[in-house]
Chain A
Amino acid sequence: MDRSSCIVCAACTAVCPNGALEAVGSLMSADDVIAQVLKDRPFYRDDGGITLSGGEPFFQFDFLRAILELARARSLNTCVETSGYVSQTRILALTPLIDLFLFDYKLTDPDQHKLFTGVSNNRILSNLLAIASAGAKIILRCPVIPGINDTPEHFRGIGALANNLQGIIRIELMAYHSLGESKARNIGKHYSLTKLQSATDKDAEAWLKSVREFTDIPLKMG
């Protein structure tokens, strides 16, 4: 299959005789989404609601806004997962509609951040500050990759953010696992970290201990 020619029409999935191709995702309006969400309403009780993730939800800003407004109108709690690398105007515009942010924090050192993600962490930190000042409730989600960011400096950085920013209610460390290789293969992408092993429970314990030295904010493995 030549992925470079793919226009995501999904016609190939209909004709594949063995059903080996699957279109993941479909076109839906905000109303469609909310209708689907409401089917599970009996299970939400008081606390349940909708979590929007991606990709990056803010890259579909109008769609995201529409869903959040409909959710609000239906008294559904809302949660958005974001990398934080988005327009500040936009993220602030939707903050009043978002009950909880799951906000990624990958690396403290700006040069390392640029090296491993391709972008600086300035905008991300600025957005984090901005939404916190606007009264957002935030869970800081920190992927920890052995050999890359499992360093005292980064853990100190996590602790500092948590201590200084009102609104961060919890830190979740996300241990690296290599199972994303399956997903990459499925969508025809190259996976460059094949040599990196998944983190173990022992690694996780050590990381929690390290971060705990810098902050008392509730902390767990995600």
Chain B
Amino acid sequence: MIGTTRFYELNSYVKQDCYDEFLPHPIPIREAMLFREILKRMPVEIKPEDFIVGWYGYETMPQEFSEAPDPKPAIAKYIDYSHLSRKEISQHHRLYLQYGLLAEYRSGHTCIRYGDIITKGLGWYKSRIEQELAAAGKGSEKEIYLRAMLISLEASEEYALRLSALARQMADKATDERDRARLLRMYEANKKVPMTPADDFYEAIQAIWTVHTLTPISDNDWYSISMGRLDQFLYPFYERSIAKGETDEDIKNYLKQIFLLLDNYGDGSCAINLGGLSPDGKDQFNKLSQVILAAELESRLRSPLLAVRISQKTPEEVLLQYIDSRLFENGKPAFYNEEVCRAAMMYRNIPEEIAATFTVSSCMALVMAGEETSDMWGCIFNMHLPLELTVNHGRPMHGQLPFELKTRPLERVTNIDDVHKKYGEYFEEILRIMMEISLKTERHHAHNYPNPLLSVLTAGCIEKGCDRMWGAPYRTTIVETFGLVNTANAMTAMDQLVFHNHQYTLDQWLDATRHDFNGAQEILKDIRGCEKFGTNSDAADKNVQRIFNMVERVCKDMYYDNVRYLPSFHTLDVNVPFGEKLYTTMDGRLKGVAVAKNGGPTNDIRSADPTSLMLSSAKLDLYKFTGGNPIDLYFDKKLLRDEETRKKIATLFRTYFDLGGMQIQVNSIDSATLKKAYDKPEDYRQLIVKIGGYSMYFNDMLDAKKLELIERTEYEEGVR
């Protein structure tokens, strides 16, 4: 995200320059004014091949911005720490470093409702604000926030007119007639949108991109700004453009430019949904879905992430189209089970007809677009810690927790049922402490960095005249359960080796774990020889189920008002850095090794083939982990070239979904994967490569043969 790095510099520079001037104003108005100032100063650009005006703050960044000093010391004095003290902030960071517990509001991961913007225009929001303002008490918090909202909309309008003026300027200088026509079209469109409704696909997509620019700028965070159900809300506009004489080729070219922009300004989690079901159960894959897919197959960039929604009604030929090496090589698409996702939304106590309109956002979340303030990384929970407290007399394995716990430790630990019960008590108590911390960080963030623009675009906030942190119909915090599978595996081993066979005592086990199993090879071997999740072992899977069921019940019991805590298996790739910082765990995972990724197995086993993994996973009521449940599958690219095999993969996915699976993330094995596996075989124990008609574990190959395969793969990819 080179562009956004430069953007942070711009942001810093403007803040340094304007803070003193804007400081006397109430904070929401200050933030709106800063937003307007950034938009005024931000360099914008139209490249020769562009249809949509969209480049900003990129190569055209002036020298003064890149030399701007870090603003943190200068503006730190303006931050109000009354909701969260500096001492508390550093305590929380220490808590994460020492114990893997993090509760901190994180912005980004936004998905607004573009459908309303393109059909009604931002002017519709403006008139609603003006209406509310007329009735609001002068000087009240509501009145202040509404004024801030107005400023942010004015800023947005001014920005669109800048884009229009630039296009006009360039059109006036254009010597080529086609260029001139193209630029004049941009000029006209940006005069209109996004303030007024769009008339056709071109205007609609320009409106979407402009607002998609404004969203992360207002939030100062570019992570996973998703576009949602593009093929649904843009469909009427697509039909209009086709009726006016434009072609699928034209539409595809507009989309390709959007993808290029998304790839430059976003990360690999800007999700666009394809297909799914209507509330009354009809398949929604349409002609525009097909064009979006065609644009993706020609673009093949990291972003956007295609989130394909598969239901019982998805035609086989549509599903087969998604199983394509050109998509898999970029880790796309993410496959979602429509029916299970709908069940997850309903499990959040959302009525079915509303739940059915959900959107897939980011790399794994389900949201109500435009109605939800989603704190996707709001809580990272080290699932191993409650186990330590359970078997170590209420104490962590290392050091001392910075807070007192009320849960009484077990005097004697003699069976796995008691372990689970006490584990649940510790988990709940610590989660409640974390969520109180989280609430403080939300208050701190909302107070110091309110977002009037995003609040305009979140349902209900105009009427309430408040920030979306409080005003959104749904406020969700995802509880990321890191190391859940590692912990369950430890319990499975404990049940066998301690409680049944009496081979070891818990004290011996704890001691060995504290010392990274140095001098304790025997116990390590025995632990590793026990059953593990992901191999379709009932004994191992049962412990995951028990923890899973406990976590989802605790999270659901904590719902209040519009707040929902959503448990999730999701780790992204953070299971690696998390594991790097984490001490040795009782499942035999050594210090510094990655914890289990997403809803998958730990790295140390190799018998977790796809069907075994799916069968293990499907024993869980996955829809109850409403924050997301991906499993990761790797496919050799050569498999994806064969029609018969692609059909088998489609069957594999359908079966997993029939069994209740929620999400599948795919990867194809390319030379980059093989090189990583060569360098770090311990992270790729399950990697299987296909050679001729023969498959073998990559780790079983001689080094020379591995290098040969890497060389051949590079040759086939055309990189050698």
Please report A residues at the B interface, Cβ cutoff 8 Å: 17, 19, 39-40, 42-43, 45, 141, 172, 174-179, 181-183, 185-186, 198-201, 220-222
Tell which of A42, A43, A182, A222 touches B692, judged by Cβ atoms closer than 8 Å: A222
In the assembled complex, how far is the CB of residue A179 from the closest CB belonging to chain B, in whole angstroms?
5
Query: Known: A175-B692, A222-B692. Contact between A17 and B701, CB under 8 A?
Result: no
Q: Judge whether A42 and B655 touch: CB under 8 Å.
A: yes
The answer to whether B708 touches A40 (Cβ under 8 A) is: no
B139 to chain A, nearest CB (A): 65
Chain B residues 681 to 720 lying within 8 A of chain A, measured CB to CB, are 691-694, 696, 700-702, 705, 708-709, 712, 716
Whether B693 contacts A40 by the Cβ 8 Å rule is no
Given contacts A40-B615, A222-B693, 8 further A-B pairs with CB under 8 A are A19-B528, A43-B611, A43-B614, A45-B651, A177-B694, A178-B708, A185-B702, A186-B700
Q: Does B354 contact A (CB under 8 A)?
A: no
What are 25 A-B pairs with beta-carbon distances under 8 A?
A39-B612, A39-B615, A40-B611, A40-B612, A40-B615, A42-B658, A43-B651, A43-B652, A45-B655, A141-B693, A172-B693, A174-B693, A176-B692, A177-B694, A179-B691, A179-B696, A181-B702, A182-B700, A182-B702, A186-B700, A199-B692, A201-B716, A220-B642, A221-B692, A222-B692
Q: Which residue of B lies closest to A176 (CB)?
A: B692
User: Measured between C-beta atoms, what is the minimum distance from B641 to chain A in Å?
Assistant: 10
A176 surroundings in chain B (CB, below 8 A) = 692
Per the bound structure, the CA–CA distance linking A178 and B704 in Å amounts to 11
Residues of B within 8 A of A183 (CB): 696, 700
B536 at the interface (CB under 8 A from A): yes
The interface residues of chain A lying within 8 Å CB-to-CB of B615 are: 39-40, 42
Which residue in chain B gives the minimum CB-CB distance to A45? B651
Q: Which residues of A contact B521 (CB under 8 A)?
A: 17
4 A-B pairs closest in CB distance? A222-B693, A182-B701, A182-B702, A40-B611
Q: CB of B659 within 8 A of chain A?
A: yes
Once the chains are docked, how many angstroms separate the CA of A182 from the CA of B708? Answer: 12
Contact B692 A177 (CB under 8 A): yes
**In the complex, what distance in Å separates the CA atom of A200 from the CA atom of B712?**
9
- Of all chain B residues, the one with the shortest Cβ separation from A200 is B712
Chain A residue at minimal CB-CB distance from B651: A45
Whether B525 sits at the interface, judged by CB under 8 Å, is: yes
- In the assembled complex, the Cα of A17 lies from the Cα of B659 at a distance in Å of 40
What are the interface flags for B547-582 relative to A under an 8 Å C-beta threshold, 1 for contact and 0 otherwise? 000000000000000000000000000000000000
Residues of chain A contacted by B705 (CB below 8 angstroms)? 178-179, 181-182
For the complex formed, measure the closest distance between the CB of B206 and the CB atoms of chain A, giving whole angstroms: 44
- Residues of A near B708 (CB, < 8 A) are 178, 198
Nearest CB of chain A from residue B585's CB, rounded to whole Å: 19
With CB as the reference atom, state the residue of chain B lying closest to A39.
B536
Contacts of B700 in A (CB 8 A): 182-183, 186
| CB atoms of B693 and A179 under 8 A apart | no
- CA–CA, A148 and B525, complex, Å: 46
- Beta-carbon contact of B655 and A174 below 8 Å: no
Interchain nearest-CB distance for A105 vs B (Å): 14
- Best-buried of B525, B614, B642 by chain A (most CB within 10 Å): B525
The answer to whether B709 touches A179 (Cβ under 8 A) is yes
Please classify the interface of chain A as helix (H, G, I), strand (E, B), loop, or mixed, using the class held by over half of its residues. Answer: mixed
The answer for the CA separation of A183 and B695 in the assembled complex, in Å, is: 12
Chain B neighbourhood of A200, CB < 8 A: 712
| Bound Cα distance A42, B655 (Å) | 7
Give Cα distance in the complex from A222 to B655, angstroms: 26
With A181-B702, A198-B712, A201-B716 as contacts: A43 and B655 at CB distance below 8 Å: yes
Write the nearest CB–CB distance from A10 to chain B, whole angstroms.
13
Chain A: which residue is nearest B697 at the CB level? A182
Separation in Å of the B415 CB from the closest CB of chain A?
Answer: 28
- Chain B contacts for A42, CB-based, 8 A: 615, 655, 658-659
A175 to B658, CA, bound (A): 37
B615, B693, B694: residue with the most chain A Cβ atoms closer than 10 Å: B693
Instruction: Give residues 484-529 of B contacting A (CB, 8 Å).
Output: 521, 525, 528
User: Would A19 and B525 be within 8 Å (CB), given that A42-B659, A179-B701 are in contact?
Assistant: yes
Name the residue on A nearest B611 (C-beta). Answer: A40
B 642-677 to A, binary, CB cutoff 8 A, 1 in contact else 0: 100000000110010011000000000000000000
Residues on the A chain within 8 Å of B702, using CB: 181-182, 185
Q: Given the complex of chains A and B, what is the CA–CA distance between A45 and B656 in angstroms?
A: 12
Q: How distant is the Cα of A220 from the Cα of B641 in the complex, in angstroms?
A: 12
Cβ–Cβ < 8 Å partners of A40 in chain B: 611-612, 615
List of A residues within 8 angstroms of B693 by Cβ: 141, 172, 174, 222
Which residues does chain B contribute within 8 Å of A178, judged by CB atoms? 705, 708
Which residues on the A side are within 8 Å of B651 (C-beta)? 43, 45
Chain B hits for A141, CB < 8 A:
693
CA distance A176 to B692 in the complex (A): 7
Instruction: Report the bound CA distance from A177 to B702 in whole Å.
Output: 14
Tell me how far the C-beta of A36 lies from the nearest C-beta in chain B, rounded to whole angstroms. Answer: 10
Residues of B near A39 (CB, < 8 A) are 536, 612, 615
Residues in B with CB closer than 8 Å to A186 are: 700
Smallest beta-carbon distance B525→chain A, Å: 7
- What is the CA–CA distance of A43 and B655 in the complex, to the nearest angstrom? 6
**How far apart are the CA atoms of A40 and B655 in the complex, in Å?**
10
Tell me, rounded to whole Å, the shortest Cβ–Cβ distance linking A37 to chain B: 11
> How many angstroms from the CA of A100 to the CA of B693 in the assembled complex?
17
Q: Which residues of B contact A182 (CB under 8 A)?
A: 696, 700-702, 705
Assembled-state Cα–Cα distance A9/B709 (Å):
34
Which residues of the other chain, A, contact B716 by a CB distance below 8 angstroms? 201
Shortest beta-carbon distance from B501 to chain A in Å: 16
- Complexed CA–CA distance, A172 and B701 (Å): 25
Distance between Cα atoms of A181 and B706 in the complex (Å)? 12
Min CB distance B403 to A, Å, is 40
A176 to B694, CA, bound (A): 10
A179 lies within 8 A of B694 (CB): yes
In the complex, what residue of chain A is closest to B654 when comparing beta carbons? Answer: A45
A43 to B659, CA, bound (A): 10
Could you mark each residue 522-551 of chain B with 1 if its beta carbon is under 8 Å from any beta carbon of chain A, else 0?
Answer: 000100100000001000000000000000
Distance, CA A185 to CA B702, complexed state (A): 9
* Across-interface contacts of A185 in B (CB, < 8 A): 702
Query: With A and B bound together, what is the CA distance between A181 and B700 in angstroms?
Result: 11
A147–B548 CA distance with the chains assembled, in angstroms: 58
List B contacts of A172 (CB < 8 A): 693
Docked CA distance A43–B651 (Å): 7
Minimum CB–CB distance for B150 against chain A, Å: 57
Bound state CA distance, A82 and B693, in angstroms? 15
CA distance in complex: A5, B655 (Å): 47
A221 to B716 CA separation, bound complex (whole angstroms): 16
Which chain A residue has the least Cβ–Cβ distance from B659? Answer: A42
Contacts of B528 in A (CB 8 A): 19
Which B-chain residue is minimally distant from A184 (CB atoms)? B702
- Alpha-carbon gap, A222 to B525, bound state (A): 39
Q: Which residue of A lies closest to B524 (CB)?
A: A19
Q: What is the bound-complex CA distance between A106 and B691, given in angstroms?
A: 19
Please give the distance in Å from B159's CB to the nearest CB on chain A. Answer: 52
A199 to B691, CA, bound (A): 11
A80–B694 Cα distance when bound, in Å, is 16
Q: How far is the CA of A162 from the CA of B700 in the complex (A)?
A: 36
Point out the residues of chain A lying under 8 angstroms from B712, CB to CB.
198, 200
Which A residue sits closest to B709, measured CB to CB? Answer: A179
Rounded to whole angstroms, the CA-CA distance of A205 and B693 in the bound complex is 16
> From residue B664, how far is it (CB to closest CB) to chain A in Å?
14
Contacts of A181 in B (CB 8 A): 702, 705
CA distance A185 to B691 in the complex (A): 18
Q: Which B residues are CB-close (under 8 A) to A179?
A: 691, 694, 696, 701, 705, 709
**A-chain residues with CB within 8 Å of residue B642 when the two chains form the complex:** 220
Say how far A127's CB is from chain B's closest CB, in angstroms: 21
Measured between alpha carbons, how far is A17 from B517 in the docked complex, in Å? 13
| A174 x B696 contact (CB < 8 A) | no
- For residue A79, give the distance in angstroms from its CB to the closest CB of chain B: 14
Q: Give the residues in chain A near B694, CB-CB below 8 Å.
A: 177, 179
Q: CA separation between A54 and B597, bound complex, in Å? A: 34
* B655 engages A177 (CB within 8 Å): no
